[in-house]
């Protein structure tokens, strides 16, 4: 007699395979991904010799494996000022005592204000002034005398202006709305605003000694979401 070998066929309808699929999304730069929900679909064939192959004797009930992908992108943008930042007093270096006690005229009036800054997206910087003097905001006395205030902004490394330059001592202009762009994601790093009355204009204030100068400046960080 000659032995006869027949292929063995078995119904594995109750056979399950659990798998973990890992995928990676590659972006040129994460900060250029606009906010929103991104969807996509990937299809793999199943069966012997296909994308998903469990062996020549294993046939699956479906010939395709369809995977639906969903990615939600939330931008990061946050500017945090410490308490008491809404009222700033411009003073000379070392305060007013050198002038009051020794008669030394101040060489400048200025103040810096620090803040915490986070962003993953570009934004436009808008500055609105109660009083303006040329391309600057201004402060004014009750008698109408005004002096300009130069306002400069410094942002952490990784921020650039439209020309690709670092945002360091960037002179703000109430008549312009510059767009500033991140080259990387920035999280909780320090920035600062500097307010200074130019020296010639500061000297004109000394003629009006005893007058109180004030003015309001509003900053708007317009995130480009």
Measured at the CA of 79, the angle between CA 137 and CA 198, to 5 degrees, comes to: 25
21-25, 157-161, 221-225: the lowest-pLDDT one: 21-25
For every residue of 84-98, DSSP letters joined together read TTT----B-TT-SHH
Q: What is the pLDDT of residue 1?
A: 45
b/e code 22-56 from CB counts within 10 Å (16+ = b) = eeeeeeeeebebeeeeeeeeeeeebbeeeeeeeee
Q: What is the pLDDT of residue 145?
A: 92
Residue 102 backbone phi and psi in degrees, to 5: -120, -5
pLDDT above 90: residue 46: no
Q: What is the pLDDT of residue 2?
A: 44
Q: What is the pLDDT of residue 203?
A: 83
When pLDDT is averaged across residues 35-63 and rounded to a whole number, the result is: 83
How far is it, in rounded angstroms, from Cα 81 to Cα 215? 19
Helices (H), 81-140: 97-102
When pLDDT is averaged across residues 15-33 and rounded to a whole number, the result is: 68
pLDDT above 70: residue 225: yes
Strand pairing of 159-160 and 136-140? Answer: unpaired
Residue 15 pLDDT class (50, 70, 90 cuts): low
How far is it, in rounded angstroms, from Cα 203 to Cα 87? 23
pLDDT above 90: residue 49: no
Q: What is the pLDDT of residue 32?
A: 57
What confidence tens digit (pLDDT) does each residue in 96-145 have? 766 665 666 777 889 999 999 999 889 999 999 999 999 999 999 998 99
Q: How many CB atoms lie within 10 A of CB 86?
A: 8
pLDDT above 50: residue 81: yes
What confidence tens digit (pLDDT) does each residue in 152-199 have? 999 999 999 999 999 999 999 999 999 999 999 899 999 999 999 988
Taking the model in full, what pTM does it have? Answer: 0.71
Q: What is the pLDDT of residue 7?
A: 47
Contact between 146 and 139 (Cβ < 8 Å): yes
Q: What is the pLDDT of residue 65?
A: 86
Q: What is the pLDDT of residue 37?
A: 85
């Amino acid at each position: 007699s000659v032995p006869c070998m027949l292929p063995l066929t078995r119904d594995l309808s109750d056979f399950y395979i659990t798998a973990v699929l890992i995928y990676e999304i590659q972006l040129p730069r994460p900060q250029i991904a606009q906010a929103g929900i991104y969807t996509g679909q990937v299809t793999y064939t199943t069966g012997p010799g296909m994308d998903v192959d469990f062996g020549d004797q294993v046939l699956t009930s479906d010939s395709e494996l369809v995977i639906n992908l969903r990615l939600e992108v939330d931008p990061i943008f946050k500017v945090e000022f410490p308490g008491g930042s809404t009222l700033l007093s411009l003073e000379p270096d070392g305060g007013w005592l050198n002038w009051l006690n020794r008669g030394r005229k101040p060489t400048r009036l200025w103040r810096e204000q620090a803040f915490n800054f986070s962003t993953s997206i570009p934004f436009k910087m808008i500055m609105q002034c109660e009083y303006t003097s040329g391309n600057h905001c201004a402060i004014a006395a009750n008698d109408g005398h005004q002096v300009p205030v130069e306002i400069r902004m410094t942002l952490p490394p990784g921020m650039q202006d439209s020309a690709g330059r670092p945002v360091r001592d960037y002179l703000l202009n109430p008549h312009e709305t510059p767009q500033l762009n991140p080259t990387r994601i920035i999280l909780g790093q320090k920035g600062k605003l500097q307010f200074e009355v130019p020296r010639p204009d500061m000297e004109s204030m000394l003629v009006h000694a005893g007058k109180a100068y004030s003015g309001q400046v509003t900053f708007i960080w317009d995130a480009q979401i």
